[in-house]
Amino acid sequence: MADTSARALLAKAFELHAAGRAEEAESFYGQALAIDAANADALAAFASLRLSRGHAADAIALCERALVADPRHAAALTYLPVMREPLIAALPSTAARVRSRNRHGEPPEWDETPVTLADLAQLPLVIFPRRLAPGFYDIITGCYGAAGLTPRIGQEAIQMQTIVSLVSAGMGVALVPQSLRNLRRTGVVYRPLAERAPIVETGLVWRTADVSPVLAGFLDVVHGHAAALAANAAANASA
């Protein structure tokens, strides 16, 4: 009976989705998943709908659940690793205790002085909600755990820009990919970790059998960018 109910709700969700009635479709997807939380078709379709409505973090989380529910979906996808980089700390400049100042008397945006996780643990942690990015969440909390520490979660946010803005407002600290130090915010100082920092990977996923001319052009650009990053990393490693 439960399976029949879920199928009927999912059929209605598909119908509303195709008709462009997004809010109603979301309601039926949610009801179907409440009955059958591991329905890969519902998860994948719901992810597509959330992405079309500008909720990328939700879409990623739903896709991850769909791949776990039915690994066969992974066979239809192609993955391109773009870059690998360590996590660094983003701290409010008032808590960073930086040793240098710029010509305006302000702390620099990047300070080479390492910071320990023990120092960070004294401040609230700003982080992605686990339900939206379980892998990334576990890497960050695992980093604290490996040092024998328990992070004090202060705020959760679903975008890196928001996380850094919260740090700027003095709401806490964050562990972010190193490339994020290019996202400059007044009141934020980025510092390397004294402990061995976890490496995170950014990549691109697309449906193998659905490559439009626009996507093909974009993939060429990303391939070139990824090759340049790899060459730069190799040159730095040999220097």
- Residue 188, C-beta contacts closer than 8 angstroms, at least 6 positions apart: 90, 91, 92, 93, 109, 164, 167, 168
pLDDT confidence of residue 95: 67
User: Which of the four pLDDT bands, split at 50, 70 and 90, describes residue 96?
Assistant: low
User: Which of the four pLDDT bands, split at 50, 70 and 90, describes residue 67?
Assistant: confident
pLDDT confidence of residue 6: 84
φ, ψ of residue 67 to 5 degrees: the values are: -70, -35
pLDDT confidence of residue 89: 93
| C-beta separation of 149 from 118 below 8 A | yes
pLDDT of 111 above 80: no
> What does the alpha-carbon distance between residue 100 and residue 103 come to, in Å, rounded to a whole number?
10
Average pLDDT value over all residues in the chain: 83
pLDDT of 27 above 90: yes
CA distances from 232 to 82, 197, 229 (A): 13, 20, 5
| pTM of the shown model | 0.66
CB count within 10 Å of CB 142 equals 11
pLDDT confidence of residue 100: 43
By mean pLDDT, which of 10-14, 21-25, 186-190 is the weakest?
A: 186-190
* Cα torsion through 179, 183, 189, 192, rounded to 10: 0
- Give the CB-side neighbour count of residue 87, counting CA atoms within 13 A: 26
As a whole number, mean pLDDT of residues 198-226 equals: 87
> What does the alpha-carbon distance between residue 35 and residue 209 come to, in Å, rounded to a whole number?
31
pLDDT of 12 above 90: yes
pLDDT of 177 above 80: yes
User: Which of the four pLDDT bands, split at 50, 70 and 90, describes residue 192?
Assistant: very high
Token pair recorded at residue 60: 């990623």
pLDDT confidence of residue 173: 94
Q: Which CATH architecture fits 2-69? A: Alpha Horseshoe (1.25)
| C-beta separation of 218 from 227 below 8 A | no
pLDDT confidence of residue 3: 53
| C-beta separation of 13 from 30 below 8 A | no
pLDDT confidence of residue 134: 76
| C-beta separation of 184 from 109 below 8 A | yes
If one compares 151 and 238, the residue with the highest pLDDT of the two is 151
By mean pLDDT, which of 69-78, 112-121, 211-220 is the weakest?
A: 69-78
pLDDT of 109 above 80: no
For the chain, give every domain's residue range: 2-69, 82-200
Token pair recorded at residue 154: 């202060």
pLDDT of 215 above 80: yes
As a whole number, mean pLDDT of residues 190-197 equals: 90
Fold that domain 82-200 belongs to in CATH: D-Maltodextrin-Binding Protein; domain 2 (3.40.190)
CA R_g for the chain: 21
